[in-house]
Amino acid sequence: MARRAMSLLSQWSSRIFSVELDGAPFYFSIQETHRREEVPRVFREVRNNGRCYSLLVCSDDRIRRAKFYGELKGKLLRGLPPECDLSPMSSFLPNVKDSLIKGYFLKDNSESSSSSERLLRRLIQHDPVFVCSYFRREEGQLWTQHLWSHADSQTMETSKEYYVVPSEAPQYHPSTLNIINSDVFYSFEEAYEVIKKCGDIIPEASSVLELLPSRAEARSKPDFPVIVIEGLDATGKTTLTESLRDTLGAALLRSPPQCLSPLRARFDQEPPLIRRAFYALGNYITAEQIGQEGMKTPVIIDRFWHSTAAYAIATAVSGPVCNLPAEGSEVYCWPSDLLQPSLVVLLTLDPEERKRRLRDRGQGKTEEEQKLDHNQLFRLRVEEAYRRIIGPACVIVDASPSADQVLQQVQLLIRGKCHL
C-alpha cells in the first residue's frame, strides 16, 4: 500500500470528518467504544432503508490526487442511481498542516445499494481512494463506520468497526491546513515543480515553462517605484491604471501577463492545485517585466500577487469570513522570492454600485465574477483576504467618487509613499 495511505490508516481513529450540507460544514469523528452520544447531524435525515458511504482521495502523487479528485464527482454522478445525494467531504487531523484529504459523502436512498457498491468496488480497485460504509444500528440511534480494504483485487470491509459520534467544529476551517503551496504558492520553486510534473498530462505545461524567467538571474530592486492597483472588477482599475500611466509617464503592466493569455482557458479547466500554480508563475513573469521596466521608469501594475492570493484563499475556505485564517497568519505573507511593490492600492466600491457598473459594461462575466455576484459570502471573503495580506499591505481607496477624484487621491498617496 502507498506510503500516504499507510500514514492515513495509522492515524485513522484520530481524524475528524467534515461533510458540507447547504454550504455549511458538519463534523463527526469515530471511536472504538460508544458512550451514548447523539447521532451526528449528517446521519439524522437518512431514510430508514438508506445507506451512506464516504470516498476520500489518498494518492502519494499530489498531481494525480488533484486530477482524480477533480474528475471524481463526474464519475460518481454518471455512475450512481439518481436517488443518491452527493456532498463535498474532507478529513483532517486537528491543527496538523497538510493533513487534509478531500472527497465526497454519499447518501444512497435507492431501493437497493448494489449498483452503488459495484461502482465503489471498481473505484477502489484501480484508483487512489478510501471508501467507507456507514451502518445504522439500534433503530437509528447509533451509526458505525467500516473502512474498505484491498485484498487480491477483491474489495472487502475491514473487521474493524468504529462508532460515529458528533465532533465540535475546529478552531479554524479545515481547508486552511492545506492552503500553503497548494491553493496559494509562496515560492517560484513550489509552483514550478507542479507545472513541471504536469508535462505528461498537460501538453501546454511545456509552453508555460518556456516563458519563465531564469532563477539564476540577479534580482535587483528597480530604480523607480512600482505601484499595484488592486480591486474587484468594475471598481475602476483600468481607468485608473491608464490615467496613472499617462500622468506619471509610467510603464503599465498587467498580471497575469499577456504572454499567458492563450493558455489561460486550458489551465482554467484544471483542478485548483494546477490552476493556482499556473497563475503563481504568471506573477514571476510579471516580476521579471517589472524589473526590466523599473530601471527606466515608474511601473503601474493592474493586479499582482494580492489578487492571486485573495481569490485562492476565498475559494479554498467556504462559509463566513470568520472561517478565514486568522489575521497575522503566514497565509497572508508576501512570498520572500517575489519582487515587492512600493505601494498597493485597493479600490473598494459599494456592492450595488459595482453591479450597476458591471451591467453598464454589458460584458460577459468570468466564472469568478459570476460567483462574486451570486455569493455574497465569497465576495466578503475575497475583500477581507485582500485587507489581511501584508508585505506590503493594501492602502484602501474608495472608488465611488468620479474617476478624476480617485486619480487625484491616488496621486497624493504616490507622492507621499513613493516621492513621485
7 residue type, one letter: S
- The cell numbers describing 308, all together, are 492571486
Mean pLDDT along residues 146-174: 74
Q: Express the helix, strand and coil content of the chain in percent, nearest 5 each.
A: 45, 20, 35
Shared domain for 154 and 292, answered yes or no, is: no
State the pTM of this model: 0.90
Average pLDDT of the chain, as a whole number: 89
Check pLDDT > 70 for residue 217: no
Nearest-angstrom CA–CA distance, 206 and 199: 6
Bridge partners of 90, per DSSP, are: 18, 102
Lowest-confidence range among 89-103, 124-138, 364-378?
Answer: 364-378
Shared domain for 277 and 387, answered yes or no, is: yes
DSSP H or E run through 309? helix 305-316
Nearest-angstrom CA–CA distance, 346 and 96: 33
Is residue 313 within 8 A of residue 396, CB to CB? The reply is no
- What is the percent of the chain with per-residue pLDDT over 90, rounded to a whole number? 63
**358: CATH:** 3.40.50.300
Output 396 or 36, whichever has higher pLDDT.
Answer: 396
Give the residue from 374, 211, 195, 210 showing the smallest Cα distance to 270: 195
Q: 3-state DSSP call for residue 154?
A: strand
Nearest-angstrom CA–CA distance, 255 and 70: 26
Mean pLDDT along residues 196-221: 84
Shared domain for 233 and 316, answered yes or no, is: yes
Nearest-angstrom CA–CA distance, 296 and 250: 9
Between the CA atoms of 352, 357, 362 and 367, what dihedral angle is there, to the nearest 10 degrees? -60
Q: List, for residues 79-99, the tens digit of each pLDDT value.
A: 998 889 999 999 999 989 999
Output 361 or 263, whichever has higher pLDDT.
Answer: 263
Domain total of the chain: 2
Chain centre distance of CA 265: 18
What sign results for the dihedral spanned by CA atoms 292, 295, 297, 298?
Answer: positive
The parent domain of residue 406 ranges over 179-418
Polymer length of the chain:
420
Shared domain for 48 and 120, answered yes or no, is: yes
Shared domain for 386 and 260, answered yes or no, is: yes
DSSP state of 105: E
Shared domain for 169 and 184, answered yes or no, is: no
Mean pLDDT along residues 31-55: 86
Shared domain for 256 and 156, answered yes or no, is: no
Q: List, for residues 314-355, the tens digit of each pLDDT value.
A: 999 988 899 999 999 999 999 999 999 999 999 999 888 887
DSSP state of 97: T
Peptide bond into 298 cis (omega under 30): no
Q: At what angle do helices 272-293 and 305-316 cross, to 10 degrees?
A: 170
Domain end position, chosen among 135, 158, 176: 176
Domain end position, chosen among 126, 161, 176: 176
Output 366 or 359, whichever has higher pLDDT.
Answer: 359
Shared domain for 376 and 290, answered yes or no, is: yes
Mean pLDDT along residues 216-227: 76
Residues 6+ apart with CB under 8 A from 45: none
